[in-house]
Amino acid sequence: MNRQPLIRIGRHVQKDSVEELAIFGGLPLFSEPLHVGAPNVGDRRKILRRIVDILDRNWLTNDGPYVTEFERRIKRITGARHCIATSNGTLGLELAARGLGLKGEVIAPAFTFVATAHALKWQGIQPVFCDIDPKTFTVDPERIEQLITPRTTGILAVHLWGRACDTEALARVASKHGLRLLYDASHAFGCTHLGHPVGQFGDAEVFSFHATKFVNTFEGGAITTNNDELATRLRLMKNFGFTGTDQVDYLGINGKMSEPAAAMGLTSLESMSEFIRHNRRNYEAYQRAIEPIRGIRLVPFPENERNNYQYINLQVDESESGVSRDNLLRILHAENVLARRYFFPGIHNMEPYRSEFGPRPPLLPVTSKAARQSICLPTGKRTSTIQIEQIGALLEFITANALEITRLLQADYHHERPTTRLTELASKRGGAS
């Protein structure tokens, strides 16, 4: 059989045959796991100085100077008139949905992180799942109109992997039917669409600054809007409805960002350009590495827009590559490349939503295909171009030897539990796989 050897790069392990893949008992390609969304820290000295300052001030929360400055810088970056920092992005979505008066049904994609739908459901709003565009992977505006009923009050669209929705088409649909338009912009901070920064579209946009985002506040989020009345409501809602020291005039909850979180956010923002340069360098390295591999396509970023390059998404065509996305994931995990399925299996196939549909789940063919084929690879400051070249060589080796690898995986599945080899390898490495 014609086996293609895996090229040695630097000091990394060389694999001359499929039996040397870690899933079959060989040494992992990387001694330490490579994660999707490994946190970026920025300048450690600056964050530590800020934490010390917070402790000296004895002002830990309740809209202190660091939160105020963080909101000001987010407004400057996005161009939005208002920014309301929140304790996390999911709560930001809940506050925005409630502030906009959403109720009944809201149309949203199922191809997103489950928090998008949960934020609606938690408010007693029924998500109605819409299929996505096969080119952009964002919600399809044409299909939205087919789902509008007398109970529909809004659209919750999601900018995905740093690529914005068709904001113009969505605005037309929302205006035509008198619907509110809210964006989950968790993936799109620092990006532009039609030359305009994300953060200015729709009635409001919600960002996540979770630790896995390229700019993070440890854990946090923010809502941006150009609507003055909405901004006033949101500021009341996130702080129990207080209008004075002991005066409450609105129904609210605790959704505030803390001062240490904002300090981390400011430190991240100061390194934002550096993070983007590193991400772009990684993206271009992945482009070179993936381009010659059959059946695996790197989803490109729009070249005429600013991007954060945070998500390296591949589409795996099993009929061309010879290997399924899930088998590819198993092989990568064994090699300590902890790639992720974004977003599997689609929210409509998760609880509590799946049970609501009973025997007739919504027909979302484009979503289902994307959920079967999508995989995100490690990037960020902790991933180097040398490691990316090695990942590319590994992927090329897998597709070149796909028939033999698939045969061995099937034999392994039939003769022992599928996780046995991974568990054994994990025990040898002293940790979980």
pLDDT digits (tens, 9 = 90+) for 37-71: 999 999 999 999 999 999 999 999 999 999 999 99
DSSP letter (8 states) at residue 86:
E
Identify the helix (H) or strand (E) that includes residue 390: helix 385-400
Q: What 3-state class would DSSP assign to 398?
A: helix
Return the pLDDT at 360: 84
Structure tokens at 408: 């061995």
What CA–CA distances, in Å, run from 264 to 48, 270, 277, 397? 9, 10, 20, 41
Q: State residue 263 phi and psi, 5-degree precision.
A: -60, -40
Residue 253: exposure state from Cβ atoms within 10 A (0-12, 13-18, ≥19): middle
pLDDT digits over 233-290, tens only?
A: 999 999 999 999 999 999 999 999 999 999 999 999 999 999 999 999 999 999 999 9
Return the pLDDT at 95: 98
Per-residue confidence band for 334, with pLDDT thresholds at 50, 70 and 90: very high
Comparison of pLDDT for 25 and 413, the residue scoring more? 25
DSSP letter (8 states) at residue 370:
H
Domain ranges of the chain: 18-31+272-339+378-429, 44-270
Identify the helix (H) or strand (E) that includes residue 278: helix 272-290
Q: Kindly tell me if the per-residue pLDDT of 406 is higher than 50.
A: yes
Identify the helix (H) or strand (E) that includes residue 158: strand 152-158
pLDDT digits over 100-146, tens only?
A: 999 999 999 999 999 999 999 999 999 999 999 999 999 999 999 99
**Three-point CA angle 252, 236, 119, nearest 5°:** 55
Residue 149: exposure state from Cβ atoms within 10 A (0-12, 13-18, ≥19): exposed
Return the pLDDT at 16: 82
The bridge status of strand 196-197 relative to strand 204-208 is unpaired
Residue entry with tokens 């005429």: 304
Return the pLDDT at 268: 98
Choose from 10-24, 116-130, 408-422 the range with maximum mean pLDDT.
116-130
Per-residue confidence band for 412, with pLDDT thresholds at 50, 70 and 90: low
CATH of domain 44-270: 3.40.640.10
Structure tokens at 86: 């929140």
What is the distance, to the nearest Å, from the Cα of residue 318 to the centroid of all Cα atoms in its chain? 24
What does the alpha-carbon distance between residue 200 and residue 204 come to, in Å, rounded to a whole number? Answer: 7
Per-residue confidence band for 416, with pLDDT thresholds at 50, 70 and 90: very low
The bridge status of strand 34-35 relative to strand 337-338 is parallel
CATH of domain 18-31+272-339+378-429: 3.90.1150.10
Q: Percentage of residues in the chain with pLDDT exceeding 70? A: 92
What does the alpha-carbon distance between residue 23 and residue 198 come to, in Å, rounded to a whole number? Answer: 42
Return the pLDDT at 178: 98
Residue 385: exposure state from Cβ atoms within 10 A (0-12, 13-18, ≥19): middle
Query: DSSP readout, 40-66?
Result: P---HHHHHHHHHHHHHHT--SSS-HH
E strand segments, 320-432: 337-338, 374-377
Q: Kindly tell me if the per-residue pLDDT of 419 is higher than 60.
A: no
What does the alpha-carbon distance between residue 89 and residue 204 come to, in Å, rounded to a whole number? Answer: 13
Return the pLDDT at 204: 98
- Ranking 344-353, 358-367, 394-403 by mean pLDDT, the lowest is 358-367
Q: Kindly tell me if the per-residue pLDDT of 430 is higher than 50.
A: no
Return the pLDDT at 422: 40
Per-residue confidence band for 4, with pLDDT thresholds at 50, 70 and 90: low
pTM of the model: 0.92
Return the pLDDT at 413: 56
Per-residue confidence band for 210, with pLDDT thresholds at 50, 70 and 90: very high
Q: Kindly tell me if the per-residue pLDDT of 433 is higher than 70.
A: no
Q: Which amino acid is at 337?
A: V
Nearest to 106 by CA among 142, 153, 149, 138: 153
Residue 360: exposure state from Cβ atoms within 10 A (0-12, 13-18, ≥19): exposed
Mean pLDDT computed over 196-203 = 98
Q: State residue 183 phi and psi, 5-degree precision.
A: -115, 135
Residue entry with tokens 């300090």: 263
What does the alpha-carbon distance between residue 226 and residue 204 come to, in Å, rounded to a whole number? Answer: 7
Name all contacts of 72-75 with Cβ < 8 Å and 24+ positions apart.
73/266, 73/269, 74/199, 74/207, 74/222, 74/224, 75/224
Q: At what angle do helices 65-78 and 44-57 cross, to 10 degrees?
A: 140
Mean pLDDT computed over 370-387 = 96
Structure tokens at 352: 């509590």
Q: Kindly tell me if the per-residue pLDDT of 339 is higher than 70.
A: yes
Q: Percentage of residues in the chain with pLDDT exceeding 90? A: 89
pLDDT digits over 80-89, tens only?
A: 999 999 999 9
Q: Kindly tell me if the per-residue pLDDT of 420 is higher than 60.
A: no
Half-sphere exposure of 341 (CA within 13 A, CB side): 18
